[in-house]
Structure 1
């Protein structure tokens, strides 16, 4: 579930440089608070934190903090019985079943996932869909259920037409929702039935169709990293070092985090980490140094786990050193 969350860090000092260790929050105290409440099966505290962050404020990260917590699937059942008409506990149950489903599937390649694992995976995603559709019906203005349905849809292979409709439903409620755009970009990747051409076109249309200074410029960098990831060793490096890739990254950076209207809130650290990785792989040392300087040791799991799945912070440090930062 790493692509679905934004992650934070803790900082230390070693040889005068920030030393980052990835941890499960992004500096927002509510993330830690709601995770601790979920682990303690304290629904009153979970509800208080979630209700204090309205849908318009994008509570995606808070929902994943709950959904990724072991045991939520057990105690949320009692809440559903006690509050049969409430939408929020159904939203929590839906998000938990998504995360719980991916726990069963694991991050292994499809060929390495057993039939039994896939059966559990699909069963949990179907349960998640039931909850999320109930929420969407009860709270038609909420974004979160449609965002969740984008994720379940990819796992259940609902097809590109249905997936696009779910993305559009999210967009009608929140046109700038970064997580929803990230999910749709994954949907149109070659590995999920799309193509490199469709992926790049979607990334550019989303980034440059939005006002300057938004976080959606990240999509251009993600698309190049996904393209790089799909290639064998050798061609992957050659792809990232194409002049047109560097030019594309610079253009997206200018329209996004370099723009004076860019606001450092929400997922901004992940945006800068993504550009840091992309620029460093592209060999654009000055741009990479700029991004590493801004992140200042603050590491997000995505995208660095593409380079080192067991230690994203080590991948960050290695790339930072490679450009002399």
Structure 2
């Protein structure tokens, strides 16, 4: 990352950091969900493309109290796989909120107990959905998260990902979920994490967002290094060239067509290049996203709003 730390003064026009800000369709869906009108939510979802719909569904779990809406809707249609999967995802969201994002050593025994309780409730729902609807991709996707949270191990996570990939071989959301499992913080290895990321980038269709998994893997690796090594790692020619190859095949490819995943993918590449002080490479992505930031992966740096604004301006000036 550029060596000069930015001023703590807030930027005059703060970047848009939430998905609700960068994608108004998500905000509309969440607002309707808050009114507890499932039919109206379903109608909004039908207006989206399949890829954007899958993306949007995951943000229903962010709506406070939406589990009540889903539970009541299930009273009218108790076997609906989408409703059940969304309810399970909401339970996962509640559980993870209790656990927090801190490392395990900073999470209390009571937090873990409640976290696992919510995840077990979600897992039971998902087991039933997958038994009745084995090709329902969204349920397999959420089961990647429950596998990690319940510490079911890498073999089980790989098995679940294999089932999902047989149905949707280039699910960017699922690949990001498995990447987390493969990192050392979840008892994985950097060899596995980077190998999987490369596989995601190279096997996906040209122009797909999947190449950004490579950027996310390098950011995760950077996060684990000691301060003297962080800059050397991201500034290395090997990492820079790896990022360039992935970006050229992904969101910088002429066949890329923007969808809901594009903003997050460009942000992942932008941050990865900035961490290595590769301003010109970062600028190519920053010009596309403009003021549209994303919570992840910028939440890995201190004061994301200030950093994004400062380094965006510096990179665009240099590149």
TM-score normalised to the size of structure 1? 0.88
Aligned pairs, how many? 307
1:92-111 equivalence runs, <5 A: 92-111=86-105
Partner Cα separation in structure 2 for residue 322 and residue 30 of structure 1 = 31
Higher strand share: 1
- What's 1:260 paired with? 254
CA contact (8 A) 1:280 1:288 kept: yes
Partner Cα separation in structure 1 for residue 40 and residue 22 of structure 2 = 19
Cα deviation, 1:197-230, whole Å, max 9, x if unaligned, reads 1111111111112232211110111111111001
Deviation of the 1:175 alpha carbon: 1.2
1:142 aligns with 2:136: yes
Partner Cα separation in structure 2 for residue 238 and residue 36 of structure 1 = 45
Q: After TM superposition, which residue ranges in structure 1, 4 or more long, deviate above 6 angstroms?
A: none
Partner Cα separation in structure 1 for residue 24 and residue 287 of structure 2 = 24
- What's 1:215 paired with? 209
CA contact (8 A) 1:212 1:256 kept: yes
Kindly tell me: are residues 157 and 303 of structure 1, through their superposed partners in 2, closer, same or farther at Cα, counting changes over 3 Å? same
1:317 aligns with 2:309: yes
1:25 partner SS: helix
Cα deviation, 1:107-155, whole Å, max 9, x if unaligned, reads 2221111111111100101111112222223333321000000011100
CA contact (8 A) 1:63 1:95 kept: no
Partner Cα separation in structure 1 for residue 40 and residue 102 of structure 2 = 35
- Point out where structure 2 has 5 or more consecutive residues left out of the alignment: 1-10
- Point out where structure 1 has 5 or more consecutive residues left out of the alignment: 1-12
1:198-237 equivalence runs, <5 A: 198-237=192-231
Partner Cα separation in structure 2 for residue 116 and residue 75 of structure 1 = 28
Kindly tell me: are residues 53 and 94 of structure 1, through their superposed partners in 2, closer, same or farther at Cα, counting changes over 3 Å? farther
- What's 2:125 paired with? 131
2:130 partner SS: helix
Partner Cα separation in structure 2 for residue 36 and residue 324 of structure 1 = 35
- What's 2:264 paired with? 270
Partner Cα separation in structure 1 for residue 195 and residue 48 of structure 2 = 33
Aligned residues: CA RMSD: 2.0
Deviation of the 1:58 alpha carbon: 5.2
- What's 1:10 paired with? none
Deviation of the 1:21 alpha carbon: 3.0
Deviation of the 1:174 alpha carbon: 1.1
2:20 to 17, 22, 25: 25
1:234 partner SS: helix
Higher helix share: 2
Deviation of the 1:106 alpha carbon: 1.3
Deviation of the 1:314 alpha carbon: 2.2
1:46 to 41, 44, 68: 41
